[in-house]
Amino acid sequence: MKKILMICHGNICRSPMAEFVMKDAVEKRGLSAEYQIDSAATSTEEIGNDIYPPAQSKLREKGIAFEHRGARQITRQDYADYDLLIGMDEANRRNITRMMGGDPDHKVYLLLDFTADPHPISDPWYNGDFETTYQEVQAGVAGLIKMLEK
């Protein structure tokens, strides 16, 4: 089983979007039983809060099923439990690595590292552009799945 944890600052926009886009993609390939996919935050700011309503709207618009959930913060145990910890931007990567006490097993990546155009996932909390974020998440998930299927 491949265990993937998607991570952003608050766990209400980008990381849950990545979680559910990835779940949808593996389900459509008939591979759901081969994956455990979740999401978390580096901060405590949104702990317990559900997916941000505009992110929910974007997922609905794109036909991506999601579950209501409460944001949670990553823990050191997550490093042991997951094969990959996937951040959305460089601040996430730095915080994940700091909170995990390093990355000795090389598990920490950014989602768009798995594409031909690695760059940070746009943060719609600040810019309101959920479409761009969704498109970047889709590209990152496609690249990640392609890498994992090799």
- Active site amino acids: 8, 14, 123
Least Cα distance to 91 among 120, 113, 69 occurs for 120
Q: Is 74 helix (H, G, I), strand (E, B) or coil?
A: coil
Please state, in angstroms and as integers, the Cα–Cα distance from residue 103 to each residue in 13, 62, 71, 98, following that order: 25, 34, 23, 9
Q: What is the DSSP string of 133-145?
A: HHHHHHHHHHHHH
Q: Give 110's DSSP letter.
A: E
CA 136/CA 119 separation, integer angstroms: 9
Residue identified by tokens 């799945």 is: 145
- The single-letter code of the amino acid at 80 is A
Q: Are 6 and 112 in contact (CB under 8 A)?
A: no
